[in-house]
Amino acid sequence: MIIEHFIGKKECNNIEELEAILAIRTAKGVNEFSISGDNYYPYLVITVKEHYAVVNYLKEEGSAYIAIGGNSEFGSDGCTVFNSCSETEEMEMDNYYVLDFSDAKIVAKDFFNNMELSENVKWSEL
């Protein structure tokens, strides 16, 4: 697996390396991880703010999913600001899609093992 994020790009060969990379945060406590195999698709994007995340799965061009959260301390109402594409670019995400980072890490491990949609969270097709 290849993982690109705000601070760099790393090759990841096992779950331990995956966990170590996913623990990386900028000084602001944010990061965004794009995880892929040898081909461009499928890939997983995990956008992180402190202990919270938004997870997108892109199966192929025109086929994308977002994990349904709403179980973090934010609940499912309102929005939370995350950084996407860089540490300075902000986007508001509906709290309905905000997961605890521990759930996002499970999704990343599932993706590492089979490159499919994780069955450990619910998904909404975009």
pLDDT at 66: 98
With CA atoms as reference, report the closest residue to 72 among 44, 93, 58, 56.
93
Asked if 36 and 21 count as a contact pair (C-beta separation under 8 A), the reply is no
What are the domain boundaries of the chain? 2-116
**Facing residues of 99 across strands?**
53
Residue keyed to tokens 């089979």: 114
pLDDT (tens digit, 9 = 90+) per residue, 20-51? 999 999 999 999 999 999 899 999 999 999 99
Using the structure block, give the residue that is written with the tokens 């995880």.
35
Q: Over range 77-99, report the average pLDDT.
A: 95
The CA distance from 116 to 59, in Å, is: 8
